[in-house]
Amino acid sequence: MTRGLGDALRWVEAGTELCAEVIDGLADGQFEERSGLPGWDRAHVVAHLAANAAALRNLARWASSGEETPMYSSPNQRTADIATGATRPPWELRSWLHREATALADDLAALTREQWRHPVRTAQGREVPASEIPWLRAREVMVHAVDVGPGLTFADLPQDFLAALSDDITAKRGAATVPPIVGTLADRTAYLAGRGSAGVTSASGGPAPDLPPWL
Ligand code: ZN
């Protein structure tokens, strides 16, 4: 599907609300439990969500000031920030995420038509217009809400978002590495995101080979 800036901004808002709802509802002890992201507990995912908002605020600043401010100062900073952040107590993780998410929304709301077109660089080194920042954030808040939300699945995310995410991941992974698969849009998108192959089969009816985690 073709997504516009308005779609991405709407998904950021919905995903941010979903994250807040899920994370505020977690018992403190659940922060140390495994998330849906292989190898990460919930505290790490929440720290990553907060640090990602801060990193994307750097891109918003880049677009508004014209001065190059990368998402992260070094390749190791992202990992280090998450590792340190995850040691914070649950109440602090909740308020850190809330603070950064609100600040990011304010920063994005302040961008002018001209500034949305300003080129910035993603953490993967791709040059994109600032109007891609909301999409980068929408993917994070939606997918990680499912990773940390007890009982949440991709089927709880908006269908139009799933269609856009499925297209995005297929394009980024490269059509050659993504086998033809059969399943509901939600199950196929979860599979493409590397969140297991429940509900998905290969086009021939056999099991679909696992894909590594995305995001
Ligand atoms: Zn992520």
Same structural domain, 175 and 76 = no
- Rounded to an integer, the average pLDDT of 166-189 is 92
Please count the structural domains in the chain: 2
Distance in angstroms (rounded) separating the CA atoms of residues 119 and 99: 26
Q: Is the pLDDT of residue 1 over 80?
A: no
Ligand 1 center from residue 184 Cα (angstroms): 23
Domain end among 132, 152, 172:
152
Ligand 1 center from residue 213 Cα (angstroms): 10
Ligand 1 center from residue 56 Cα (angstroms): 12
Q: Identify residue 143 by its one-letter amino acid code.
A: V
Q: Is the pLDDT of residue 69 over 80?
A: yes
Ligand 1 center from residue 144 Cα (angstroms): 7
Same structural domain, 14 and 111 = yes
Ligand 1 center from residue 205 Cα (angstroms): 31
Same structural domain, 13 and 77 = yes
Strands 127-129, 201-202: pairing kind: unpaired
CATH of the domain at 162: 3.30.1050.20
Domain end among 102, 129, 152:
152
Domain end among 152, 177, 201:
152
Ligand 1 center from residue 140 Cα (angstroms): 5
CB neighbours of residue 115 within 10 Å: 17
Same structural domain, 163 and 133 = no
Reported as a single tens digit per residue, the pLDDT across 114-149 is: 999 999 999 989 999 999 999 999 999 999 999 999
Ligand 1 center from residue 46 Cα (angstroms): 10
Q: Is the pTM of this model over 0.85?
A: yes
**What pLDDT score was predicted for residue 38?**
85
Ligand 1 center from residue 204 Cα (angstroms): 32
Domain membership of residue 27 as a residue range:
5-152
Ligand 1 center from residue 127 Cα (angstroms): 19
Ligand 1 center from residue 31 Cα (angstroms): 17
The alpha helices in 66-89, defined as continuous H runs, are: 75-85
Reported as a single tens digit per residue, the pLDDT across 10-22 is: 999 999 999 999 9
Ligand 1 center from residue 49 Cα (angstroms): 7
**Angle, in degrees to the nearest 10, between helices 5-24 and 90-109:** 160
